[in-house]
Amino acid sequence: MNVAYHAGFIAGSFILLAAISVPLTRFRNGSSVLYALAAVVSGLAMLSSMAALSRGVSLQAVLPFGLPGTGMRLELDALSAVFSIIVNLAAILASIYAVGYGRFDPAPRRVLPFYCLFLLGMNLVLIADDAFTFLLSWEFMSLSSWALVVSRHEEKENRDAGFLYLVMASFGTLALLFGFGILAGESGSYAFDLIRERQLTPFAASIAFLLVLIGTGSKAGLVPLHVWLPPAHAAAPSHVSALMSGVMTKVAVYGFIRVAFDLLGSPAWWWGTLVLVLGGVTALLGALFALMQDDLKKLLAYSSVENIGIVFVGLGLALAFEANGMNAAAAIAATAAIFHAFNHSLFKSLLFFGAGAVQHATGTRDLGQLGALIQKMPATAVAFLIGSVAISSLPPLNGFVSEWLTLQAILLSPELKDWGLKFAIPATGALLALSAALAGAVFVKAFGVGFLGRARSHAAIEAHETDRFSLAAMGAAAMLCVLAGIVPGLFVDGFAPAVALMTGAPMPDQSRLPWFTLVPMDVNRGSYNGLLLLLFILFTAYGAVIVIHQFVSNAIRRAPPWDCGYPDSRPQTQYTASSFAQPIRRVYGTLLLRARDFVTMPPPGHVRAATFRVEMRDLIWEKLYLPVSGSVLYAAEKLHPLQFQTIRRYLSLVFGLLVFLLTVLAIWL
Amino acid sequence: MALTALTIQFLQMLLVLALAPLLTGFVRMVKARLLRRKGPPLLQPYQDLLRLLGKHAVVAENASWLFRVAPYLIFGATWVAAALVPTFASGLIFSWSADLIGIIGLLATARFFLALAGMDVGTSFGGIGSSREMMIATLAEPAMLMIVFTLALIAGSTQLSVIAQVFAMDGVGLRVSLGLALVALILIALAENARIPVDNPATHLELTMVHEAMVLEYSGRHLAMIDLAAMLKLLLYVSLIGCVFVPWGIASPTSGPLGYILGLLLYPLKLVIGGVLLALFETSIAKMRVFRVPQFLGIALMLGFLGTLLLFVSRSF
């Protein structure tokens, strides 16, 4: 099969869907029909990618449009196919979810067309085989997702998020544009085949690498380029948030892998160190910021920042191993990165679906208004719980497997010779462990405050279970999380062709091992079996239940909560989201977030209420972004007089500039 | 052959379950004697558990299913983790199903559900316990992982059986990094098991309590399961320190029946020594304020990190 059919089918169907979406909304259930069709198209796109991956061939095509001379080049190789499966799998889930959820959309016409175009843009980025097509699709993806972010533009918060996103996306694309410019060189050969053949000087390669890291990193949410991500992901409708957080960040990861591993050839020694450290810092700060959020969707978005950090740690390790010629170790690190990207697309989609269901059921996503939803939304609660366990990288679910593989790769790294890496890698390992533990706290907070305890508002008491389609999507995502946790070997084998393309050698074949064990190198070095662990836990736990209920007692007596003798019926006396985070805020936040608590107590005898206020500062925003935006405003202010001139002045300015540039050119040459 | 291996694995599972309350009782007894009290009898924990099992479970009116399921899950995960640590024999038939990182992961899973259970009823004590437990975990887990790195870099494996065999047979010698790891592991073991100076297993109604605050709403068989899991966890950590730092006498698959008998005899001895040392330590130190705990565990994190860093610099440290 030709990749042109693949691309043509996706492009044709999604453009058609976008076109019919607006008239379709006139009908009852029109949006549901459209989302169902989008799910079918995504499903077919996924099947086509799976077929290409399993046949192990790379499909290429050149279409007669795009850049003159280059044409529109498309290629579906193993790397594209793996990411295409990740993207389209999550797109299927999000579309099924939206079959139910989309019905409650107040303005479906602002969402539906762009939703289809967004899916199209992401698919095209993955199969682009020349820089022009890549950038065009990339920008297509950015702009369509921007339209989705501002779909609820009535709220100022969403408009601000959209503006920030637009600025950062443009900045990222600009960096990518220059990066590809350097890759193409003077000859201007934008086809990826020609870029691969070119031998760049180490300096030029490094500049291109940095530019691409900035461009893709800003889309993926690497610190310090992550600031746009939480507000934008929180502002979009929930199924779009799931796609942006779960999938679009993976497209960015794909872009980085494509350039850093495929197009640039052999990496310089410090590239890996840089990516590794950036990833570690991103993971830590993402988790810490996530813990400080009271808004459920912002919490999830910051947790995406954390997970992207983990993915980039894996990629940095892979680069470092590759630079030192340790391809087997590089394969483990690269597998860990791709596996974590896959896992994150699953559980993050699942959690955003849950957040959307909660928001629809209660009208709020402020954790301070929720509580006890496990009673009112039992199925959503189970799915959200599975997602929480998975994302906290706890065995036996899938988040643990990719984290474990990353740690196994770290343990192979003392063989590396660079001294920078010898210090950076253990430090990154510690950061990774810290962020994993913080992620656990984040999701104890999210689930514990949102779903457990007593309801904190009337809305939470009145909450109701969400619709069948949303539940089906959440259930499928939860099952996939379990499946990827207990039979990780199958997934690792599936990613193997892509890993071979990245690092030159895949991980050893896992399919022959008994009981789906995962053995990265040698069974004596370390192995993991999620299936057995799950069975053991279930057997022992269930065995205990059976034995105790059978032979001792199974009587339950319901009574008021004891609470050490001081029960208080007001739900306000429970721990809130902010008070849950207080111990950790006090331990880590005083340094990293400049968190300070202000307590004012009225003097004895006064009846004034006591107040409590927490102040936190985002140092990255203050030290990096505010100066830049301030100087832009200052420059704009200064240049303002140029705006209202006569035509003579303008012409003389143009003339002056021309003379200046010609003079520069004359001196230069 | 496979049958013998299965029997030994099964024996190990039963052994840890049977010995866990005994170890807790022993530590309590030694502590009492050190304080010149008579203290409860050695077998008291068994009686406590039996009594709790027989009682009605009193469950808060608004408690969800999670509250009732969590004790069994916590017990299951902790038991599986404890059964994977080599006690009297290494190289057991299921030891490859989870390495040391996996064992830590299982304990983290148990903790996750315990913290959730603490928040389920929506009382202020439950919240205080859960939030503090997670704060302690954010320090203890990375520190523990650094220790794993240290051990794994020396032994060339994260597999606990292999680590024990390498340490017992090949004579890794006295190493700076191992010393750092031992100190760090003891600090973490104290924090993870809610022992003095981090937490006090014998208090109620004290604002510094962590573990007891989380399980405050539990009673009857649910409380028995959680208590048993806590006892298993204590046994796990003592066994872990034993199998890594005093690995002598642990039988390996090649050592024959005599080796297994020797292992079975030596293992209780190691537990006794560990229990006495724990009791001695606990009676000679005061409980610290909860916000001193980060500094306490920060030491463990730094020591573990230093050990790993030394090994990255040179394999001979």
Q: How many domains is chain B partitioned into structurally?
A: 1
Judge whether A64 is closer than 8 Å to chain B, CB to CB.
no
DSSP letter string, A355-373: HHHHHHHHS--BGGG---H
How far is A242 from A240, CA to CA, in rounded Å? 5
Beta-bridge partners for A642 = none
How far is A122 from A245, CA to CA, in rounded Å? 13
Looking up tokens 């309801």 gives: A455
pLDDT in tens, B65-120: 999 999 999 999 999 999 999 988 887 778 888 899 999 999 999 999 999 999 99
How far is A260 from A319, CA to CA, in rounded Å? 8
pLDDT in tens, A581-640: 999 999 988 888 888 888 888 888 888 888 888 888 888 888 999 999 999 999 999 988
Helix (H) or strand (E) holding A617: none
For the beta carbon of residue B295, count every other beta carbon within 10 angstroms: 11
Q: What is the extent of the structural domain holding B126?
A: 2-313
Residues of B in contact with A440 (CB under 8 A): 108, 111-112, 134, 137-138, 141
Gap from B276 CA to chain A (nearest CA, Å): 30
Among B112, B170, B199, B299, which would you mutate to test the A interface (most chain A Cβ atoms within 10 Å of its Cβ)? B112
Residues of A in contact with B205 (CB under 8 A): 564-565
Q: Which of residues 488-527 of A touch B (CB under 8 A)?
A: 515, 517, 523-527
Among A435, A563, A569, which would you mutate to test the B interface (most chain B Cβ atoms within 10 Å of its Cβ)? A563
Give me the residue from A552, A553, A564 closest to B125, CB to CB: A564
Looking up tokens 């921007």 gives: A146
Among B123, B169, B228, B315, which would you mutate to test the A interface (most chain A Cβ atoms within 10 Å of its Cβ)? B123
pLDDT confidence of residue B199: 86
Judge whether A648 is closer than 8 Å to chain B, CB to CB.
no
How far is A356 from A348, CA to CA, in rounded Å? 12
Q: Do A454 and B116 touch (CB under 8 A)?
A: no
Judge whether A559 is closer than 8 Å to chain B, CB to CB.
yes
Q: Which residues of B211-245 are buried (b: 16+ CB within 10 A; e: fewer)?
A: bbbbbbbbbbbbbbbbbbbbbbbbbbbbbbbbbbb
How far is A90 from A94, CA to CA, in rounded Å? 6
Q: Do A537 and B111 touch (CB under 8 A)?
A: no
Residues of A in contact with B141 (CB under 8 A): 433-434, 436-437, 440
**Residue B57, φ and ψ in degrees, nearest 5:** -85, 120
Gap from A251 CA to chain B (nearest CA, Å): 30
Q: Do B122 and A375 touch (CB under 8 A)?
A: no
Beta-bridge partners for A597 = A614
Beta-strand pair A556-559/B57-60: parallel
Helix (H) or strand (E) holding A394: none
pLDDT band, residue B208 (cuts 50/70/90):
low
Average pLDDT over residues B182-187: 95
Residues of B in contact with A389 (CB under 8 A): 109, 112
B110, amino acid identity: A
Residues of A in contact with B76 (CB under 8 A): 536-542, 544
Residues of B in contact with A524 (CB under 8 A): 156-157, 159, 162
pLDDT confidence of residue A619: 87
Give the ipTM: 0.96
Judge whether A571 is closer than 8 Å to chain B, CB to CB.
yes
Backbone region of residue B205 per phi and psi (left: phi > 0; alpha: psi in -120 to 50; beta: other values)? left
Q: Do B56 and A557 touch (CB under 8 A)?
A: yes
Q: Do A407 and B57 touch (CB under 8 A)?
A: no
Among A527, A532, A554, A591, which would you mutate to test the B interface (most chain B Cβ atoms within 10 Å of its Cβ)? A527
A146 with A121: CB under 8 angstroms? no
Q: Do B122 and A555 touch (CB under 8 A)?
A: no
Q: Do B157 and A526 touch (CB under 8 A)?
A: yes
Q: Do A533 and B97 touch (CB under 8 A)?
A: yes
Helix (H) or strand (E) holding A559: strand A556-559
How far is B64 from A381, CA to CA, in rounded Å? 11
Given a cut of 80, whether residue B170 has pLDDT beyond it is no
Judge whether A423 is closer than 8 Å to chain B, CB to CB.
yes
pLDDT confidence of residue A69: 78
Give per-10-residue mean pLDDT for chain A (669 aa).
85 93 87 94 95 86 82 91 96 95 86 94 94 94 95 92 94 95 85 88 93 95 93 93 94 96 88 94 95 94 96 95 90 96 96 95 92 94 97 94 94 84 89 94 96 93 92 96 94 93 87 82 85 94 93 88 83 89 89 86 87 86 92 93 86 94 91
Q: Quick one: A156 exposed, middle or buried, by C-beta within 10 A (0-12, 13-18, 19+)?
A: exposed
Q: What letter would DSSP give residue A640?
A: G
| Torsion angle, alpha carbons of A528, A530, A534, A537, to 10 | 20
CA distances to A51, A250, A410 from A507, in Å = 21, 21, 15
pLDDT band, residue B205 (cuts 50/70/90):
low
Q: How many CB pairs under 8 A join A and B?
A: 285
Q: Do B204 and A582 touch (CB under 8 A)?
A: no
3-state helix, strand, coil in chain A (%, to 5): 75, 5, 20
Judge whether A384 is closer than 8 Å to chain B, CB to CB.
no
Residues of A in contact with B131 (CB under 8 A): 445, 575, 579-584
How far is B239 from B246, CA to CA, in rounded Å? 10
Given a cut of 80, whether residue B203 has pLDDT beyond it is no
Give me the residue from B102, B122, B126 closest to A533, CB to CB: B102
pLDDT confidence of residue A605: 86
pLDDT in tens, B13-53: 999 999 999 999 999 999 999 999 998 999 999 999 999 99
Say which range, A114-118, A653-657, B128-132, B287-291, has the weakest mean pLDDT.
Answer: B287-291
A152 with A198: CB under 8 angstroms? no
Residues in chain B: 317
Q: Do A552 and B53 touch (CB under 8 A)?
A: yes
Please give the share of chain B, as a percent, with pLDDT higher than 90.
61
Residues of A in contact with B309 (CB under 8 A): 423, 426
Judge whether A575 is closer than 8 Å to chain B, CB to CB.
yes
Q: Do A575 and B131 touch (CB under 8 A)?
A: yes
Closest CA to A211 of A199, A225, A197: A225
Determine the residue of chain A that is closest to B126 in CA distance: A563
Q: Encoding tokens for residue A155? A: 């709220």
Determine the residue of chain A that is closest to B59 in CA distance: A558
pLDDT confidence of residue B207: 64
What are the contacts of A591-599 at 24+ separation with CB within 8 A?
A: A592/A285, A592/A288, A592/A619, A593/A288, A593/A289, A593/A292, A593/A617, A593/A618, A593/A619, A594/A619, A595/A292
